[in-house]
């Protein structure tokens, strides 16, 4: 994965027609070059953070839509602190 820093949206789709969440995030490539780090922008309130984590628990696969219209499937994990997420691309998709 090339170096990237910019604004994107994380989307969680229940099916091909139903998007349940669209979250604006600031994304940067992590030091290892294979992982993206994302921070909600603006920061999430407690209820929204709980809803996001419930979706991650249900199915951690999200769509990441970059500001340049690049789209990729990613697996979302908590990144340590409450506002940081780790995104790993889904191989073969």
Question: What DSSP string describes 27-62?
Answer: EEE-TTSSEEEEEESSPPPHHHHHHHHHHHHH--EE
How far separated are the first and last CA of the chain, in Å rounded?
15
Rounded to two decimals, the pTM is 0.84
pLDDT of residue 24: 95
Eight-class DSSP state of 21 = E
Confidence of residue 93 (pLDDT cuts 50, 70, 90): low
Q: What is the mean pLDDT of residues 44-49?
A: 88
pLDDT in tens, 48-74: 888 998 999 999 999 999 988 889 999
Which CATH architecture is the domain 5-89 placed in? Answer: Roll (2.30)
Domain ranges in the chain are: 5-89
Beta bridge partners of 64: 10, 72
Q: Quote the percentage of the chain above a pLDDT of 70.
A: 89
Higher pLDDT, 7 or 92: 7
Q: Note if the bond before 2 is cis, omega within 30 degrees.
A: no
């Amino acid at each position: 994965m090339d170096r990237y820093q910019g604004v994107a949206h994380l989307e969680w789709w229940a099916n091909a027609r139903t998007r349940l969440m669209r979250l604006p995030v600031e994304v940067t490539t992590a030091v290892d070059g294979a992982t993206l780090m994302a921070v909600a922008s603006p920061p999430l309130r407690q209820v929204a953070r709980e809803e996001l984590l419930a979706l991650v628990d249900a199915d951690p696969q999200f769509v990441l839509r970059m500001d340049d219209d690049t789209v990729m499937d990613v697996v979302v994990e908590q990144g340590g602190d409450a506002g940081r997420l780790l995104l790993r691309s889904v191989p073969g998709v």
